[in-house]
Amino acid sequence: MRLRGHAARLGLDTSHIPVRTQVAAITSPSPEPYECVAVSIEDLREAVSASRSWAQVAERLSVSRAGRNYRNLKALAAKTGIDVSRLYGQAWGRAPVQPLPVPFSRSFDPTLLHQMGTAVATAWFVGRGYMVSVPTEPAAYDLIVESDLGLQRIQVKTTRGTTVGITKVQYGLTESPSSGKYSGRRPYTKAEIDLFFIFTGTGALYLIPIDAVEGMRHLALERYAKYRLPELIECSYSNVAERSARDAGC
């Protein structure tokens, strides 16, 4: 019915199409009246310099926010060479803002990598929905994580190179001139931990079971590429795209 009405309005010949009822031509609504923009160049220049969006410019000039008025204001600004790069239309809320100083000016210090390890490991597990607990001292492991197979004892190690030491300090077996109790370093055992979480200076992450390296003191990480973990954050995140990202398996 509507198609026939539009055909009648356009004067199209539809005599070859059989119809049962007659329809009246559909007429388009009259365009809404709009306010003619009549502002001085100086007023426009001042409004632009004091505004963040075209909506604010129109408001300062007491001009209706009809779309054609926006176009007229923009055309007038372009014709007179007024700089409007600071304006962001209706989406001005996305405009960059001038930053305020913050009290953290230090650069990244690689020597502090060891202090970051436990926090990075915790973030990796928590970001995947695994609950993390911190044991009290003394404990051979740094974290307890609720895994798919139950609780796992995690020892965190860091390295600035391509190899990492996986030994622990041994106390109380023999005496030494320095402390009287220190006796060196020894490998971890399966009775003490379940997995090593390794964080490198390049940001690489590894999760290696003790069964794969028990008795070893140092690991060349290039040999353990199959134990490398996905990045801390595997995909970019925004709350707007959260559902679509989840559906896509990101």
Measured between alpha carbons, how far is 224 from 121 in angstroms, rounded to an integer?
18
Instruction: Kindly give, in sequence order, each residue whose CB lies less than 8 Å from that of residue 95, ignoring residues fewer than 6 positions away.
Output: 52, 86, 88
Measured between alpha carbons, how far is 89 from 76 in angstroms, rounded to an integer?
16
Give the Cβ contact number of residue 196 at 10 Å. Answer: 23
The helix-helix angle for 41-49 and 67-80 (nearest 10°) equals 100
Q: Can you give the pLDDT at residue 53?
A: 83
Q: Can you give the pLDDT at residue 175?
A: 54
Q: Can you give the pLDDT at residue 14?
A: 77
Q: Can you give the pLDDT at residue 32?
A: 47
Closest listed residue to residue 72, CA positions, set 40, 35, 37, 48: 37
Q: Topology of domain 110-227, per CATH?
A: Trna Endonuclease; Chain: A, domain 1 (3.40.1350)
Using only C-alpha atoms, the chain has a radius of gyration, in whole angstroms, of 35
Q: What tens-digit pLDDT sequence spans the chain (250 residues)?
A: 667 777 777 777 877 777 766 666 656 555 444 445 678 889 999 998 888 888 888 888 888 766 677 788 888 888 889 988 878 765 556 666 778 999 999 999 999 999 999 999 999 999 999 999 999 988 999 999 999 999 999 999 999 999 999 999 876 655 554 555 556 889 999 999 999 999 999 999 999 999 999 999 999 999 999 999 998 887 766 665 565 656 666 5
Domain ranges of the chain: 2-92, 110-227
- The residue assigned the tokens 């930053």 is 99
Measured between alpha carbons, how far is 109 from 113 in angstroms, rounded to an integer?
8
Measured between alpha carbons, how far is 166 from 196 in angstroms, rounded to an integer?
8
Q: Can you give the pLDDT at residue 198?
A: 98
Q: Can you give the pLDDT at residue 34?
A: 45
pTM: 0.60
